[in-house]
Amino acid sequence: MFNLIDKLTGWMDKMTEGSARRMALSTGRRSFLARTGAVIVGGAMLPVLPFDRTFGIVPANAAEADEFSCEYWRYCALDGNLCNSCGGTLTQCPPGSEASKVSWVGTCKNPADGKDYLVSYNDCCGRTECDNAPFCNTNQGERPGYRMGLHNDINWCMANASVGYHCTVAVLVGLAE
C-alpha cells in the first residue's frame, strides 16, 4: 500500500516539476531577455533590407546638369545612349533612324518647379548602336528583370520593322498627377 502511495506521489512530483520548468522557460527573465533581444536585433536589421530607396530622389547636381549629361533630370529613368550626342536632339531621333513604337515611361522631378513629369523614353531604331554618346542607366523606379513589365533593360525597337537599337530620346508626356 505504502509502495503504491510512494509511486503516486513520485509521479505527481515529476509532473509538477515538469510543468514548473516549462512555465519558467516560457515566462522567465531569460526568456523575456531573449525575446526582447530578438526584437531589438530584428528592428536594427530592417533599415538594411534591400528596399529601393532611389525612387523620387533627385541627384544633387540635377538642377545644374545639362541635357548632354546623364544627370539631367529628364533622364531619371533612362537606359540607353543619349540621342542628342548621336546627331539627334533631346526629343528627335538622328537621321536614318525612327522612334520606337513602344516605349518605357518614367516619372521624373523637374528641379526647376519641383513637379513630377511623365517622360517617354523612345528608342531610335534602324541603325547600328551609337556608342560614342553618353550611356545612361539611371532607371529610377525600375524593378528587377523577373518583374516583367516593370523592367527597362529592353530593346524597345522590338515592335518596329527594323529592330536595330541606335539611341534613346526623352519626350515629355505631361504632368504626373
* Cβ 159 vs Cβ 101: under 8 Å: yes
In one-letter notation, the amino acid at residue 112 is A
Q: Which member of 123, 131, 153, 156 is catalytic?
A: 123
At closest approach, how far in Å is the CB of 153 from ligand ABN?
5
73 noted as active-site residue: no
- State which H helix or E strand residue 120 sits in: strand 115-125
Q: Which member of 104, 113, 116, 131 is catalytic?
A: 104
In one-letter notation, the amino acid at residue 47 is P
Told to check if 156 binds ligand ABN by CB under 6 A, we report yes
123 noted as active-site residue: yes
Between residue 60 and residue 89, which ones bind ligand ABN under the rule CB under 6 A?
Answer: 79-80
End-to-end Cα separation, the chain, in angstroms: 88
> 79 or 142: whose CB is closer to ligand ABN?
79
Can you tell me which of 84, 88, 109, 123 binds ligand ABN, judged by CB under 6 A? 123
Q: Give 124-175 as a DSSP string.
A: EESS---TTS-EEE--TT---TTSTTS---S-GGGGSSS--EEEEEEEEEEE
- Per CB under 6 A, the segment of 4-12, 48-56, 138-146, 154-162 that binds ligand ABN is 154-162
Contact positions toward ligand ABN, by CB under 6 A? 79-80, 123, 153-156, 165, 168
Q: Which residues are catalytic?
A: 104, 123
